[in-house]
Chain A
């Protein structure tokens, strides 16, 4: 641990959002009033489909976008009306936005220069950060002479060299190829563990969210669907939207009807016993469905449509009462060429959602 790590850890500030709204006009409300608190030093991933307002939220925290109402507090300070430079945030952009006419050193030192730091101190700071990110040999190069991953590191270096209280990332990995994205993800996680800056990371990639986040904030049309740890979000999704957004392949959602003692599929087959009446949506993860098992619950018949062998596992797509259900099975399981499968839905793995609102109904099958 060197001086920069300690300084950033000390500077890490919480972010509190109170009744924050963004509307371009009364008809186009991007973010309805939002309340959320991001703890100091926490890595928060803001996850959602494009157009859900996640980038707008980030830009409002950064000060690049005006707020339409409400408050943003960084630490104890109200910042929603301050200029970006007075907020103590640093940002890494999707296209890196490095200054093409400046060397790597000048790019990283620019904010320090603007802040009026002495030249020797500037050089010292940049050198420390460059060393931490493995950029020491590239300081004299222009961004155009660097690879995608190196540019990414320069952008991160430019952000952390100021020892900001808050580090903001706007889909920083989406311009990289798959292998590099994987490597950078690990580097980012490692960096966060070392410097402990309060981090807000915007992405539409659920894998990035699951692997990087302390907590994931899932947005849907500007509203918070769920804000919890990756584990809780995966195992206890708060709504159908979250259930479908997380996991690859995502959770299966089936319409079911309760007759007072059991839940029935559209074709009348019983999937579980529960003292419920009315329409519901039933969720189960692909890996939780048991093929040909005789576990608890009831066995249902399904027609196999197709299978994809992925090496580590196979994904089966079956037709169950008119809905396509995906099942993850061990690779090479003996189900070849059969047209009909017997499925078991273990009750402890079922999720029940309200048919109208899509919100989860916790405890519907006893303790979970």
Chain B
């Protein structure tokens, strides 16, 4: 207590410093979320003008909707594949880079930039890159017409989405994982080499266990992010099509709420998605986080 009070003699200063950030988070995150939870128990009129308390009727309606479950499954598939790839690919790159490269500070900065590119911009770029007529896979179609058709084939559209998402995640995860790898002392590699472990064996026995904290961080961030940030990509690349094949929950909420004016249904789905993400993160911390060794 004494050390804390000597460190922060003014008890209002810390609160003052945190206040702007807290204000933003409350105003643009907690208020809307609680609003959505609140609305999910009401039947809301599309153009305003009164609402009616209906208890769990909204939940019953949403949970019995086949399209909701389909979108839910697609969300999970997207989450698992996209975030695994968004961690795995940078991991491979980082292990390779760690063998020789010492990254300079400017290089690290340049690498993080794509993290700052808006999802919509990435979407526009990838819509062009994977365009079946002029994109990089267009030559496939000249060999066998129709083999690459993200506008018609749901799987192709899904692959496009995943590729765009993974591309956006690579730089940040790469930098985090590489930093983890580079903080492993050189003598640790030497000790393993003396113990007879070759380069491949060292990756699995020494390097991966020692960067578990970094792997865990990137995985948790990826899992939560892939659920929500896919929206911008879907909106710019596929609009949820073809035939709903890329309608993830986050996009379905937007369409239901702002195109279909089913405000209550959208609120209910938001509440469900929110609870899902919270449970998922909690589970990760509970089952993975606890087994991680932070000691060096």
Contacts and interface: CB of A to CB of B under 8 A. Distances in A.
B187 A158 contact: no
Interface string A54-96: 0000000011100000000000000000011100011101110
Nearest to B191: A97
Contacts of A63: 193
B284 to A, nearest CB: 19
A110 B296 contact: no
Contact of B194 (A62, A115, A143): A62
Nearest to B194: A91
Interface in B101-117: none
A115 B198 CA distance: 11
B244 interface: no
B187 A93 contact: yes
A100 interface: yes
Contacts of B193: 63-64, 83-85
B197 A89 contact: no
A168 to B, nearest CB: 8
Contact of A114 (B190, B197, B209): B197
B195 A110 contact: yes
Interface residues of A, number: 26
A85 B210 contact: no
Contacts of A95: 185, 187
Interface in B193-221: 193-198, 201, 205-206, 209-210, 212
B188 A101 contact: no
Given A93-B187, A93-B190, A95-B185, A101 B210 contact: yes
B51 interface: no
A144 interface: yes
A90 B209 contact: no
A97 B190 contact: yes
Given A90-B194, A144-B295, A97 B210 contact: no
B81 interface: no
Nearest to B209: A101
A100 B296 CA distance: 6
B173 to A, nearest CB: 21
Interface in A182-235: none
A241 interface: no
Interface string B147-191: 000000000000000000000000000000000000001011011
Contacts of A91: 190-191, 194
Contact of A85 (B196, B205, B212, B295): B196
Interface residues of B, number: 21
Nearest to A114: B196
A142 B295 contact: yes
A99 B190 contact: no
A85 B192 CA distance: 9
B293 interface: yes
B295 A158 contact: no
Interface in A156-170: 158, 162
A35 to B, nearest CB: 25
A111 interface: yes
B194 A110 contact: no
A144 B205 CA distance: 18
B293 A100 contact: yes
Nearest to B210: A101
B59 to A, nearest CB: 44
Interface string A100-131: 11000000001100110000000000000000
B190 A115 contact: no
A111 B196 contact: yes
B185 A97 contact: yes
Nearest to A87: B194
Nearest to B187: A97
Contacts of A89: 194
A99 B194 contact: no
| A83, A95, A114, A115 pick with most chain B CB within 10 angstroms | A114
Contact of A94 (B187, B209, B295): B187
B128 to A, nearest CB: 45
17 contacts: A63-B193, A64-B194, A83-B193, A83-B198, A85-B195, A89-B194, A91-B194, A94-B187, A98-B191, A100-B293, A101-B209, A101-B210, A110-B197, A111-B195, A111-B196, A114-B201, A142-B295
Interface of A: 62-64, 83-85, 89-91, 93-95, 97-101, 110-111, 114-115, 142-144, 158, 162
Given A91-B191, A101-B295, A110-B195, 20 more contacts: A64-B190, A64-B193, A83-B193, A83-B198, A84-B193, A85-B194, A85-B197, A91-B194, A93-B187, A97-B185, A99-B188, A99-B191, A99-B209, A101-B209, A110-B192, A110-B205, A142-B293, A142-B295, A144-B295, A158-B191
Interface of B: 185, 187-188, 190-198, 201, 205-206, 209-210, 212, 293, 295-296
Listed from nearest, the 7 A-B pairs whose CB atoms lie closest are A111-B195, A85-B196, A97-B191, A97-B187, A144-B295, A101-B209, A114-B196
